[in-house]
Homo-oligomer: A and B are copies of this chain.
Amino acid sequence: MERVINFNAGPAALPLAALERARDELLDFAGTGMSVMEHSHRGKDYERVHDEAIALLREIAGIGDDTEVLFVQGGATQQFAQIPLNFLPDGGSADYIVHGAWGEKALSEAQAATKWSGGKVRVAATTVHDKQYTRVPAEAEIARDPQAAYLHVTSNETIHGVQFHELPKADAVPLVCDMSSDFLWRKTDFSPFSFVYAGAQKNVGPSGIVIVLAKKDFIARGRKDLPKIFQYRTVAENNSLYNTPPTFAIYLIRNVLDWIKKGGGLARIEEQNRQKAALIYGAIDANASFYVSPVEKASRSTMNVVFRLPSEELEARFLAEAKKLKMVGLKGHRSVGGIRASLYNAVSLEWTKTLVDFMRDFAKKA
């Protein structure tokens, strides 16, 4: 068996150590004679893993006691609806910053949710420019509503490869952030955020689970006239065990977090992630007549590097030749085309160098 070099945008490459651990105990978890998947979510063997995943996340990310760490289902897409259902009061208004396809979706689902909430949503800033998102909005471009129930921002737009390197300042308005594609890639001060959510399938685990970091006082503000399953307080009061969670996904998150910790924590991961991004953007800029990044330099994503070649034909050849060298997952999102290399935590520096070498050779040859 030869593992390929996986640049998928998510679900994405997982650390080999986390997968090997899962494989080795798939039929016999911790000497219990059954798979972790076969354990009751109310039993002590599973609960140990569950609590360890939360404790590791708190430790690695420096999450304070004022904040709940929650596991929820439905993907970040469900959060797009669930957040306004909880936090947009009747007669209130929520602000959205849009700089890519995911921000658009979050806005659209929030609009639909106002049928229940009675509130309204408002675009505080957008860089839509004919759907070609090439940068994040500058702080001065954000028309904030000081009365907003919250300000929603997408920290990294996976499809357009556009990332906030400095997130909008928190003020009296609670800051809510979709961090799906750049969660836990670097040391982050989570204290300004009232609510952070991230689908696990990029930097921290498999698909089917969302991690939420939410301030306790923000959760308490959520409306109580929703079905219980949709209220974050229900999840928090039950340690994410109100109903059966995706136990295997949480187990794998535990394995990935343990791998991050043992590898030196977020400081070390950040250093490597920055090196990886610098290498690829370096290869683009060194062959600027051949590779073109549509994204403004200050907004270039460290997680999803998107670029174009002179023609779609060359892009197809690029992908085909990369595949021969065991590099997969480089095709850009179907809505925008081109090439995309996703450089999440499990993508090694070595893999990245292989891609950089290939980019240089391919540009030379073409």
Nearest residue, chain B, Cβ from A13: B38
A208's partner among B28, B209, B225 (CB-CB below 8 A) is B209
A356 at the interface (CB under 8 A from B): no
A35 at the interface (CB under 8 A from B): yes
Question: Are B11 and A109 in contact (CB-based, < 8 A)?
Answer: no
| Contact status of A42 and B244, CB under 8 A, knowing A13-B34, A78-B73 | no
Stretch at the interface among A110-118, A126-134, A313-321: A110-118
A16 at the interface (CB under 8 A from B): yes
Count the A residues whose beta carbon is within 8 Å of the partner chain — how many? 69
| Contact status of A40 and B9, CB under 8 A, knowing A227-B80, A246-B207 | yes
A138 at the interface (CB under 8 A from B): no
Task: List the interface of chain A (C-beta within 8 A of B).
Answer: 1-4, 6, 8-14, 16, 19-20, 22-23, 26-28, 32-35, 37-42, 73-78, 80-81, 108-109, 112-113, 115-116, 199, 201, 206-209, 225-230, 242-249, 252, 326, 328-329, 334
- Residues of chain B within 8 A of A40, CB atoms compared: 8-11, 329
- Residues of chain B within 8 A of A27, CB atoms compared: 1, 3, 16, 19-20, 23
A75–B75 CA distance with the chains assembled, in angstroms: 13
A42's partner among B74, B116, B334 (CB-CB below 8 A) is B334
- Residues of chain B within 8 A of A73, CB atoms compared: 73-75, 78, 208
Question: Are A229 and B109 in contact (CB-based, < 8 A)?
Answer: yes
Question: Are B74 and A229 in contact (CB-based, < 8 A)?
Answer: yes
| Contact status of A8 and B244, CB under 8 A, knowing A78-B73, A230-B81 | no
CB distance from A124 to the nearest CB of B (A): 20
Question: Are B6 and A226 in contact (CB-based, < 8 A)?
Answer: no
Of listed A35, A80, A226, A326, residue having the most chain B CB within 10 A: A35
A-B contacts, 9 listed (Cβ < 8 Å): A1-B28, A8-B39, A11-B37, A11-B41, A14-B35, A73-B73, A112-B225, A112-B226, A249-B249
Q: How many copies does the complex hold?
A: 2
Nearest residue, chain B, Cβ from A111: B227
A74's partner among B12, B74, B108, B116 (CB-CB below 8 A) is B74
Of listed A13, A78, A245, residue having the most chain B CB within 10 A: A78
| Contact status of A77 and B242, CB under 8 A, knowing A206-B37, A206-B248, A248-B206 | yes
Question: Are A112 and B228 in contact (CB-based, < 8 A)?
Answer: yes
Question: Are A326 and B247 in contact (CB-based, < 8 A)?
Answer: no
A352–B366 CA distance with the chains assembled, in angstroms: 67
Question: Are B10 and A34 in contact (CB-based, < 8 A)?
Answer: no
- Residues of chain B within 8 A of A81, CB atoms compared: 227, 229-230
A8–B207 CA distance with the chains assembled, in angstroms: 25
CB distance from A235 to the nearest CB of B (A): 11
A58–B227 CA distance with the chains assembled, in angstroms: 32
A326's partner among B33, B39, B208, B328 (CB-CB below 8 A) is B33
A23–B12 CA distance with the chains assembled, in angstroms: 19
CB distance from A328 to the nearest CB of B (A): 8
A8–B37 CA distance with the chains assembled, in angstroms: 11
A112–B19 CA distance with the chains assembled, in angstroms: 41
A333–B42 CA distance with the chains assembled, in angstroms: 10
Question: Are B6 and A19 in contact (CB-based, < 8 A)?
Answer: no
Question: Are B42 and A246 in contact (CB-based, < 8 A)?
Answer: no
Nearest residue, chain B, Cβ from A244: B207
A32's partner among B4, B35, B108, B199 (CB-CB below 8 A) is B4
- Residues of chain B within 8 A of A80, CB atoms compared: 227, 229
Question: Are B33 and A4 in contact (CB-based, < 8 A)?
Answer: yes
